[in-house]
Chains A and B, each alone.
Chain A
Amino acid sequence: MYIIRHRSLFFWITGLFLAGAVGAILLWGLPLGIDFTGGSLMQVSYPQGRPALADIEKQISALPLGVVSIRSSGTNAISIRTRTMTPAEHDTVLAAISSHASTTELAYTSVGPALGSQFTNKALWAIFAVMLVIVFYIAFAFRKVSRPVPSWGYGLTVVAMLAIDIIVPTGFYAAYCHFTGAEVDSLFVVALLALLGYCVNDVIVIFDRIREHLARNEKLGLKESFEDTIGKSINETMTRSINTALTVALALTVLIFLGAPATRNFALVMLVGIVIGTFSSIARSAPLLIPIAKWFAKK
């Protein structure tokens, strides 16, 4: 019952997280990768040791490519980001940086500007559509419990929560990008989508408990305040929420430390999202139903 009694405290904590995340996004922005903006990205390694970045910059600056950003990645590798290059331009860059040292090109990606903006569109649509369907499904699944909150109220609560569950890790990633130079790529979008799936499941488990208690109280004619029902449901599902989050978090931590570099940022976003999501489903999702119920009682 601790959480229900102190629910305003948890709302405040949530607000703080949300403000921090929105602040980070507004302050530092999300550096969009070439998947979104278009452009070319080369990853090159120097097997015999990497020359100074300034030297590499000098080799490239002679080429008519406009603004080029060069960053080191790993011990002996660099990544070069430019505007969208033609295959011929890509070859000249490769030749330019290989003039004094032997290089191996690890990966090269080039995205046309039109395709980039389309990816952004599609990603936003997908997230939006998934949320919409979740509202409808939950409204349907909870159709038999319409007091004291109408069944679509559960759906809306879940979506409000999901929005927060996505904004907070996004804010974290904005800060992470700012300090490490990482960029928002398509795997980041995949991570957000996976989080959506995880968090919905998490809330449904708690709501399912509330649904069960409400149905039983009605059947047995028991009088119990909505707050007590919610408090009981949260307590009963707490071990499950924490244990599940712990197992997934363990798997992700392993992925961060032992997995491929390509999935490291993905796993990190997921990890933050799952910790936040678990906190949010325990401390916020169900308590959020109480003010909604009060609002409906007034009407």
Chain B
Amino acid sequence: MTRYRVFAAIALIAGFLLTYFVWSTEADPYSAYHFKLGLDLAGGTELVYKADMSQTPPDERSDALSALQGVIERRVNLFGVAEPLVQTEQASALSGVTEDRLIVDLPGVTDIKAAVAALGETPTLEFKLATTTRTGTTTATTYLSTGLTGRYLSSAALEFGSGATAGLAAPQVLLNFNSDGAKLFEKITSENVGQPLAIFLDGQPISEPIIQEAIPGGQATITGRFTATEARDLVRNLNFGALPVPIELENSSSVGPTLGAAAISAGVFAGIVGFIIVALFMIGWYRLPGIVSALALAEYLAFMLSVIKVIPVTLTASGIAGLIISVGMAVDANVLIFERTKEELREGKSPREAVHIGFSRAWPAIRDGHLTMIISGIILFWLGTSIVQGFALVFVLGVLASFVSAVSLSRVFLLAIVPEHKEGLWSFLMGSGGHNA
């Protein structure tokens, strides 16, 4: 019994420390461990783009996607948002078509149009070979993709060269390719001397210089119908990143700050009231074990909230739903154990013996129940969309924690106080419903 009392004391102290951690980090405005709230709770904008990979060879898709992510990240940082998040997602093979997506989270931003403009104005740059075919009197020009795109660009610079009109320096854009791009550019130019090489910006041809000779060294110049301002903007945009592949806005959502704040305060209030009601019910029905389970549940919650803070898990409405269900599971594990203990008491066992046997009898059901839920949660996380994943992550964490808390915390607490014999008050305390033990 002394052993259990020591364990119980340690568990209680740990519980207080965790509760203090949760409370103090939330009260301290500078703490690094605030709850991370999803956009649906904190307010903000989420944009989902589809990357058009139709021109990209399959084995280069993930490279192109991470290049795209890098470029968009630079653009987002320029936009000036606190803690933006840019993620990529490759649609699962289950749906048949592989799709590459870019998910941009902008907390605190509610002006979708401005956000889309800031992200989407990045140019796509492509080099294409022009072939002109003449049939009768009509001429048709077809453009053949060379594979050389903005992906291979390392930098761009503004230059003023001698223009066609004598005396006036025309603005030019100088492109520097990276080493792969330089090789590709040299190859293209050496194989197609005398052909026009069209430079496409955002799908529009802006100039069609004729290749005079093979160009080594990885530099190209675009001379077009630029004004100086246009050329400067182009250089800036190219430097901040020409998009390696075109993107298309597929999804957008924004939540205003008022709705999010209301959702949080209502959620917290409902959580506290719900916990008190559940605790009162447990104490009313199960008496002493009920008090123990309320304590174990409080510890369970303090632990879960600390884990959510430390990992950190981004809390969304669906994540909170997952938390509530896992609390339900934790309650259930306690109920299972107490019901079993009660049966043993009824058969005339001593309270301590009954608690011991009650736990071991309840174990297989708790194990199977929790394991199926953990497996289901993992599958949901694996297959689900982000909303389902938000639920599944918290759910799996919660069920794992419940697994541990039910078989350790409640047991230690109970064994720390339950006596050898049920006499007098103990008979009432160990009873349940309308019956004494």
A binds B: yes
Residues 101-144 of B contacting A (Cβ, < 8 Å) = 110, 112-113, 116-117
CB distance A119 to B385 under 8 Å? yes
Shortest C-beta distance, A252 to chain B (Å), equals: 8
A283 at the interface (CB under 8 A from B): no
Shortest C-beta distance, A239 to chain B (Å), equals: 6
Q: Give the complex CA separation of A124 and B278 in angstroms.
A: 33
CB distance B335 to A243 under 8 Å? yes
A290 at the interface (CB under 8 A from B): no
Interface core residue of B94, B322, B384, B392 (most chain A CB under 10 Å): B384
Q: Give the complex CA separation of A226 and B332 in angstroms.
A: 27
CB distance A123 to B372 under 8 Å? no
Among A108, A243, A254, point to the contact of B254 (Cβ < 8 A). A108
CB distance B383 to A190 under 8 Å? no
A108-B112, A112-B251, A187-B387 given; A251·B327 CB < 8 A: yes
Interface string of A150-184 (1 = CB under 8 A from B): 00000000000000000000000000000000000
A65 at the interface (CB under 8 A from B): no
CB distance A240 to B336 under 8 Å? yes
Please, which residues of chain A bring their CB within 8 A of the CB of B377? 197
Q: Give the complex CA separation of A130 and B391 in angstroms.
A: 15
A111 at the interface (CB under 8 A from B): yes
CB distance B339 to A240 under 8 Å? yes
Chain B interface: which of A5-13, A20-28, A49-57, A204-212? A204-212
CB distance A137 to B281 under 8 Å? no
Shortest C-beta distance, A166 to chain B (Å), equals: 13
CB distance B274 to A104 under 8 Å? no
Q: Give the complex CA separation of A252 and B259 in angstroms.
A: 21
Nearest B residue to A77 by beta-carbon distance?
A: B259
B256 at the interface (CB under 8 A from A): yes
CB distance A106 to B388 under 8 Å? no
Q: Give the complex CA separation of A298 and B392 in angstroms.
A: 43
Nearest A residue to B322 by beta-carbon distance?
A: A194
Nearest A residue to B265 by beta-carbon distance?
A: A260
Interface string of B371-400 (1 = CB under 8 A from A): 111011101100111011001100100000
Q: Give the complex CA separation of A252 and B426 in angstroms.
A: 33
A87-B112, A190-B318, A254-B274 given; A246·B256 CB < 8 A: no
Interface string of B247-286 (1 = CB under 8 A from A): 0011111111011001110110110011101100110010
Size class of the A contact interface (CB-based, 8 Å): 35 or more
Among B40, B320, B336, B372, point to the contact of A200 (Cβ < 8 A). B372
B328 at the interface (CB under 8 A from A): yes
Among A106, A108, A191, A247, point to the contact of B252 (Cβ < 8 A). A108
Please, which residues of chain A bring their CB within 8 A of the CB of B307? none
Among B258, B321, B383, point to the contact of A129 (Cβ < 8 A). B383
A114-B250, A115-B251 given; A250·B270 CB < 8 A: no
Nearest A residue to B325 by beta-carbon distance?
A: A194
How many A-B pairs with Cβ below 8 Å? 230
Interface string of A249-266 (1 = CB under 8 A from B): 011101100111111001
Among B269, B282, B373, B384, point to the contact of A247 (Cβ < 8 A). B282
Q: Give the complex CA separation of A107 and B252 in angstroms.
A: 11
Interface string of B320-334 (1 = CB under 8 A from A): 111011011101100
Among A130, A134, A250, point to the contact of B278 (Cβ < 8 A). A250
Shortest C-beta distance, A142 to chain B (Å), equals: 9
CB distance B274 to A250 under 8 Å? yes
Interface string of A180-221 (1 = CB under 8 A from B): 000000110111011011101100110011011000000000
Among B113, B255, B269, B325, point to the contact of A197 (Cβ < 8 A). B325
Please, which residues of chain B bring their CB within 8 A of the CB of A280? none
Nearest B residue to A263 by beta-carbon distance?
A: B317
Q: Give the complex CA separation of A127 and B266 in angstroms.
A: 30
Residues 298-318 of B contacting A (Cβ, < 8 Å) = 317-318
CB distance B328 to A198 under 8 Å? yes
A115-B48, A197-B395, A260-B266 given; A122·B385 CB < 8 A: yes
Q: Give the complex CA separation of A110 and B251 in angstroms.
A: 5
A141 at the interface (CB under 8 A from B): yes
Q: Give the complex CA separation of A13 and B269 in angstroms.
A: 38
CB distance B369 to A110 under 8 Å? no
A236 at the interface (CB under 8 A from B): yes
B214 at the interface (CB under 8 A from A): no
Q: Give the complex CA separation of A91 and B383 in angstroms.
A: 35
A146 at the interface (CB under 8 A from B): no
CB distance A133 to B373 under 8 Å? no
Q: Give the complex CA separation of A251 and B406 in angstroms.
A: 19
B36 at the interface (CB under 8 A from A): no
Please, which residues of chain A bring their CB within 8 A of the CB of B116? 87
Please, which residues of chain B bring their CB within 8 A of the CB of A43? 259
A296 at the interface (CB under 8 A from B): no
CB distance B48 to A200 under 8 Å? no
Q: Give the complex CA separation of A250 and B285 in angstroms.
A: 14
9 A-B pairs (CB sep. < 8 Å): A90-B112, A107-B253, A108-B112, A141-B371, A186-B385, A194-B325, A197-B373, A251-B277, A251-B327
Those 9 A-B pairs whose CB atoms lie nearest each other, nearest first? A112-B250, A109-B253, A208-B365, A260-B263, A201-B369, A259-B270, A254-B274, A248-B328, A251-B274
Known: A111-B250, A141-B368, A193-B376. 5 other contacts (CB 8 A): A109-B253, A186-B318, A187-B317, A243-B285, A255-B270
